[in-house]
């Protein structure tokens, strides 16, 4: 286990022999990423679980709005071999449904709720996926979709402070802006050893 690159090669051989990999990417000696078909995710994850990658570190989604796709990322972790494996899959953006991996990794329960809350992806198989987790009483489209405009939402919902004037000169003081700029130049000069 001393040479970590061997671990990446080991896991690449292991996965590529049994599953159809759309795209493989070795991020570094501790991370490897596989893009697979949507149908293969469950069997691949349980296969990895039996081979030691028994902890689901994270599950989240990426919104590729130009391709009209959501990319789901499952990151699994092994306590013996120092390699994180990312399993990625693309699902349809208009009707985002992905079967839950609750039978394989029970810990995915909250990650799936989070993904539903922030991206609107449905996870049939997980009884709680529609419950709110982080946002409370959310009343708009899921906020991490790229076509959601947070500024427009903030403007419509939260009162903004209005400033009638940008700057108020209370007792007719002279502007010290020029002095400040000179001072700043001097400081830079001194810092650079007399050069500008």
Write down the least CB distance from residue 113 to other proteins, Å: 11
Query: Site for other proteins (CB under 8 A): which residue of 1, 66, 94, 139?
Result: 139
Smallest gap from Cβ 170 to other proteins, in A, equals 16
Q: How far apart are CA 132 and CA 119, in angstroms?
A: 13
Contact between 157 and 150 under an 8 Å Cβ cutoff? The reply is no
Q: At its nearest, how many Å lie between other proteins and the CB of residue 158?
A: 4
- Number of residues engaging other proteins in binding (CB under 8 A): 18
Piece of the chain touching other proteins by CB under 8 A; list 15-23, 47-55, 80-88, 143-151: 143-151
Interhelix angle 4-18/41-50, rounded to 10 degrees, is 130
Region 12-41 residues binding other proteins, contact defined as CB under 8 A:
none
Q: Are residues 31 and 114 in contact, defined by beta-carbon separation less than 8 angstroms?
A: no
Least gap, CB of 95 to other proteins (angstroms): 24
Cβ pair 93, 118 in contact under 8 A = no
Count of Cβ atoms closer than 10 Å to residue 194 Cβ? 7
Nearest one of 52, 58, 48 to 80, comparing CA atoms: 52
Kindly state whether residue 196 participates in binding other proteins, applying the rule CB under 8 A.
no
One of 20, 24, 131, 189 touching other proteins (CB under 8 A)? 131
Residue ranges with strand state E in the chain: 21-28, 31-36, 55-64, 69-77, 84-92
Is 77 or 153 the residue whose CB approaches other proteins more closely?
153
Coil, strand, or helix at residue 160?
coil
**What residues numbered 144-183 form the site for other proteins, per CB under 8 A?**
148, 150-151, 153-154, 157-161
Chain positions contacting other proteins, by CB under 8 A: 131, 134-137, 139-140, 143, 148, 150-151, 153-154, 157-161
């Amino acid at each position: 286990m001393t040479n970590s690159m061997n671990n990446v090669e080991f896991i690449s051989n292991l996965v590529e022999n049994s599953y159809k990999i759309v795209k493989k990417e070795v991020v570094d000696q501790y991370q490897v990423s596989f893009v697979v078909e949507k149908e293969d995710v469950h069997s691949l994850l349980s296969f990895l679980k039996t081979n030691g990658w028994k902890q689901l570190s994270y599950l989240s989604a990426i919104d590729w709005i130009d391709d009209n796709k959501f990319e789901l990322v499952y990151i699994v972790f092994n306590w013996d071999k120092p390699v994180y494996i990312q399993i990625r899959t693309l699902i349809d953006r208009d009707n985002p449904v992905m079967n839950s991996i609750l039978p394989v990794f029970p810990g995915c329960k909250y990650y799936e709720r989070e993904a539903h809350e922030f991206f609107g992806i449905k996870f049939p198989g997980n009884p709680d996926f529609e419950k709110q987790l982080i946002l409370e009483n959310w009343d708009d489209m899921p906020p991490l979709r790229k076509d959601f405009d947070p500024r427009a939402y903030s403007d419509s919902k939260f009162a903004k402070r209005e400033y009638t004037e940008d700057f108020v000169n209370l007792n007719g003081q002279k502007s010290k802006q020029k002095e400040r700029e000179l001072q700043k130049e001097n400081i830079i000069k001194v810092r650079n050893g007399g050069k500008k």
